[in-house]
Structure 1
């Protein structure tokens, strides 16, 4: 059962803090290779080694923090893990089947880490029951029990919204008869699983630093995170930060009119420099405000878009239209993330290195780079081509399986990484 209420809040500044990179804890439930068909080799391992900041722990399941992201997209006829038509949380931007996407193969790839690791794996049978396919199931109810009484907040842009809605669909499929309430405020959405006291939240903050309405217009303040935002973030048990996709937007899609760097206000500045300034502000906020004994901090790596076929071995293509499969071998083994995204990842790494608190990095960039087939393209409720966001069900489900695995691998009581 789902109840929805809408509230209006007193003006809260648009804020966002900016990103960072570090180690992801190891997988706890891998028990050997899964039985499945053809794989799609990823180059995520190369990226992870380049981005490594700090060190991660081992795992009884035999999976290191490196090979969670070094692996293959495997075609699996039992996928997708849930029926998107039964999920009430999907925004029209991501509801590809509802808006006429004719193919289904993009739904049937799951991420398979290397080295014998298994991410959680299940599907819904004809009676809407989960069937165990070997390895370790994604058990939504187990996740909710582990999270009992806790609050998780995704903080970021529309890619955070992608991941937030995917997680809600995965949990709803597991406990569809549970009492779920929804609240919506400006910049804040909350779904509470009342039977478990678990709240999953989305705080929209494209840049992770403040945007302030002033007489001259909207001012992006690269060195500011408001007290109101800070108080809200500090209440969370889990914070999943993300920012990148909006930093190079121009014209009407740009989210600000002026940018303030220190005492200097200008109409624009070098965007990568602005991104780095915001990341520094975010890192300082984490350092000063996060109690590592209470709050676990994640950062979701940059999500790649697919508007240039050269990036996936098809020069001449200008978008993701008509793509129905991931990048296949042998091209996949040599496909590296480049351009501005690689610079963003380096900037995130530098910000993370400045933080003494442990940050868990969801390194989704490399594995998502292979999924040029996973975008809405022209099949969304928006009147534009979209090769930036992701269909639900789809690629964000793998992001959440990695998130789920990491959380379940943490100790039950507060510790340095929990």
Structure 2
């Protein structure tokens, strides 16, 4: 006997009558389900687009379409460091541009764990650095890093990343410790330069044989780099730590005040307002210089925190071997104040630029928080070769300010590349 279908021998009219009632019943059940258990659509969208948070950078790689360009992504201020077994793109011997004091591998640093972390933003994925993409986007251009030793640190990181596919030629060097240098990538006709200018404005640095304080002229931009501005396509500004040193400040040929100048008859005014004035003068000079002329891009790398725990010349001054976890390290105090000044002045300069300038793009590379979470990435005692070759001593110089290469500072250039990719995508769309 075969299986009997329950409606096989029933009249067709019965099926016709039952079907509409079945549909009505199902619809009623669905409406009741929606009433008591609504779909979490609104809540889901709120999680995707954070409320009241600054949009720092928007993702746009060459493989993404326009809908991805409209998704806000904060690459810098919200995220955490996660383990990454792939490690860096280069090592301490694969490029000849690293300053000796930051070449931690060649100086004998025994722990390698600091090399195996990646910055993971909360809202998106930060791609690994793409040297070929960077070179393609900068073809026939001049990129200039202007600032102090942190600018040089970032520059050397970039050169090492790029050298993995196209080694550059050093074509110019000058100044103490080669503070003014230029490299050339012949295959792409790219120039990358470093200009030593620790205040961005005109300054006379303290010396061992002369004045023991710096002299800053806050209304005058430093012509050592500004005189070449017309040949620059992109400028990366990076300063901060030199403003903490003793200094006397001048404005319109008059003494404005000083910072930590005992014995001098000047008013102590600290350095926060001075830091702001220096940025105002610098960004004003860039905006006005480029009025009506060719396109220029400006990126301001924000203040990079140090991680000293105790005296700079005592063993174990920056002893941590792992990053701070999310929420473990708050951004506060001087680090936060210096960062905020830079962000505010860039935003003010953007407004001014729109009033009378075209072809000027300004962006903040906000690395302060993500850098504050990497106490393990500094040279420490390995700023000198094999500091414990003759045993551990109580006193040994430590560098808890600059970054090992390779190291966490490579992330700065990964994020900077995303800025440039976004700018390129906007240009192609005519936005």
Structure 2, unaligned stretches of length 5 or more? 1-53, 260-267, 354-360, 386-395
Matched, 1:28 2:28: no
Q: 1:243 aligns with which of 235, 239, 242?
A: 239
> 1:170, CA displacement in angstroms?
0.2
Matched, 1:323 2:330: no
CA distance in 2, matches of 1:298, 1:101: 32
Matched, 1:155 2:155: no
Q: Partner of 1:85: helix, strand, or coil?
A: coil
> 1:322, CA displacement in angstroms?
2.9
8 Å contact kept, 2:104–2:404: yes
Q: 1:192 aligns with which of 175, 179, 184?
A: 184
Matched, 1:277 2:277: yes
> 1:288, CA displacement in angstroms?
1.1
Q: Partner of 2:416: helix, strand, or coil?
A: helix
CA distance in 2, matches of 1:319, 1:338: 23
CA distance in 2, matches of 1:320, 1:182: 38
Greater shift in the superposed pair: 295-304 or 80-89? 80-89
Q: Which residue of 1 aligns with 2:363?
A: 360
Q: 1:174 aligns with which of 165, 172, 182?
A: 165
Residues 211-234 of structure 1: CA deviation (Å, up to 9, x unaligned): 1589x9663211111456323123
CA distance in 1, matches of 2:86, 2:144: 30
Q: Partner of 1:337: helix, strand, or coil?
A: coil
Counterparts of 1:112-131 in structure 2, within 5 Å, are 112-115=120-123, 117-121=124-128
CA distance in 1, matches of 2:290, 2:57: 19
8 Å contact kept, 2:197–2:222: no
CA distance in 2, matches of 1:377, 1:224: 36
- Report the CA distance shift for 1:297/1:76 in structure 2 as closer, same or farther (over 3 A): same
Greater RCO between the two (CA within 8 Å, min separation 6)? 1
> 1:290, CA displacement in angstroms?
3.0
CA distance in 2, matches of 1:166, 1:417: 32
- Report the CA distance shift for 1:201/1:303 in structure 2 as closer, same or farther (over 3 A): same
Matched, 1:141 2:119: no
> 1:307, CA displacement in angstroms?
1.6
Matched, 1:385 2:398: yes
> 1:104, CA displacement in angstroms?
0.3
> 1:174, CA displacement in angstroms?
2.1
| RMSD over equivalenced CA pairs, Å | 3.1
Aligned length: 336
Matched, 1:287 2:287: yes
8 Å contact kept, 2:170–2:181: no
CA distance in 1, matches of 2:399, 2:185: 31
8 Å contact kept, 2:166–2:185: no
Q: Partner of 1:79: helix, strand, or coil?
A: coil
Structure 1, unaligned stretches of length 5 or more? 1-21, 33-57, 122-137, 251-255, 310-316
- Report the CA distance shift for 1:284/1:413 in structure 2 as closer, same or farther (over 3 A): same
> 1:30, CA displacement in angstroms?
10
CA distance in 1, matches of 2:90, 2:149: 22
Matched, 1:404 2:422: no
The structure having more radius of gyration, on CA atoms, is 2
8 Å contact kept, 1:294–1:414: no
Greater helix content: 2
8 Å contact kept, 2:92–2:104: no
Q: Which residue of 1 aligns with 2:342?
A: 348
> 1:304, CA displacement in angstroms?
0.6
> 1:63, CA displacement in angstroms?
5.1
Q: TM-score, normalised by structure 2?
A: 0.70
> 1:416, CA displacement in angstroms?
11
CA distance in 2, matches of 1:60, 1:412: 11
Q: TM-score, normalised by structure 1?
A: 0.72
8 Å contact kept, 1:96–1:379: yes
